Structures are given as structure tokens and as C-alpha cells.
Amino acid sequence: MQLRIHNEGWVYFVISCLITIIVIPFYTIIGIFLAILSAYIFYFFRDPIRSVPIDEVVVSPADGVVTYIGSEKNPLEDNKDQNSYTKVSIFLSIFDVHVNRMPIKGSINSIHYIPGKFINATLDKSSKENERNIITFKSDKDNFYIVQIAGLIARRIVCNLKVNQEVEKGNRIGIIKFGSRVDLYLPENYAILVAKGQRVVGGETIISNPKNILNINNAKLI
């Protein structure tokens, strides 16, 4: 298996390793603790290759556990968009992969960063109160929203997208550091294939199959 670390993690990993090398000859126990911390930093920022379905299905934008599924208005509360959406919330613990991925091929319409609180991301109110980054994109004729939400520990949201950018399904779109939540808003006519409490894998787990494709066998490694 190929080991990869997200670019955002290298600075933490290198600094931790350097401190460990300096400390361990003088303070063995502390050095061992720092070595374990360095290993965890590498583990946290891991960026595994995923097998992304080629067929026209919607995949999970993040690793974690589904904590909420329900009907909502768009997260921007934009009066121009009066459509209802199905929101699927995914909570990422400190042990999950924190790299976020594009759930379906689309064009980025807007990106809105909103400062806020850092309450527990398992609580639904974190969608409206916490620091977050709202990504609006269009696939075919349908609008979608992804919301990257900082959690109790998370203190930085990284988004690598640009407005008007065309992004393929499964491509990496950013990372949320140290515990977080991702909300995916789908058109209400998209049937949801996951359940509350289910563990999902970013880029692989199918959230919705709007065209009712029977045999989903083709995939690409990203």
C-alpha cells in the first residue's frame, strides 16, 4: 500500500520529528511520547488513494459517520434559491481521514467562508453556528452544496477550489484539520442510499444513484 500524506500535514510532521530527534537523547520518555505524536500526525493527515465509481452516482465527500439526514433549505439561506434539499451530515472523528472529496462531477459556482464558533460538530446547530466554508456547484442542471464545518478541536478549514473550476468526482477539494463535519446538500428528488449511523468512505461510498444504475462495477483510482 502506498503511504501518502496531505500537503497540509508535512509542516506538522517535520516539526514534530525534529523536536523528537532533539529531545529523545536527553529525555527518553518524553522523546517516546513525541515519537508517538509524530506517528499520529502522519496518520491523521494520511491521504489514501480511493477507488471512485465512474458511473453517474453521488459519492460521499468525506470519511466518517452519518449523523443526520433531513430536508433543509440551502445553507446560504439565499432567497434566489427556494428549492428544498436533502442534507446528509457526516461527522469526522480525530481518527478519520480528513481529506474532503468531490461527490459528483461539477462546476464550482461560489465559495463562501463564514467565521463562527467551534462547538461540538456532532450537534446539528454546528451547521449554522460554527466556522464553515460553503461550496456551491452545479452538475448537469442540478445545484449541490458542500459545507466544510470546523469542530470542537478543528481550527482551520482548507479549500483548494476556485470559482468556475471544473472538478471531477472523487477529486480532492480540501481538508479540515483535527475533527470536523461535512454537510452535503442534494436535490430533494435524489433518493438517499445511506442511513443515519452508517460509516461512509470519502470518494467510495455511494450516497445517491439518481439514474438507478443497476451494475456499478467500473471505478478509477484517485
The catalytic site residues sit at 180
Interstrand relation of 51-53 and 219-221 (parallel, antiparallel or unpaired): antiparallel
Phi, psi of 34 (to 5 degrees): -65, -35
Which burial class, exposed, middle or buried, applies to 36 when counting CB atoms under 10 A from its CB (0-12, 13-18, 19+)? exposed
Measure the CA–CA gap between 97 and 178, rounded to whole angstroms. Answer: 10
Taken in order 6, 117, 183, 122, is the CA torsion positive or negative? Answer: positive
DSSP 166: E
SS3 state at 53 = strand
Residue 131 to residues 26, 28, 70, 91, 201: CA-CA distances in angstroms?
41, 39, 21, 15, 24
Q: Find cell 508517538 and name the residue.
A: 36
Measure the CA–CA gap between 75 and 52, rounded to whole angstroms. Answer: 27
Measure the CA–CA gap between 73 and 147, rounded to whole angstroms. Answer: 13
Tally the residues of the chain: 222
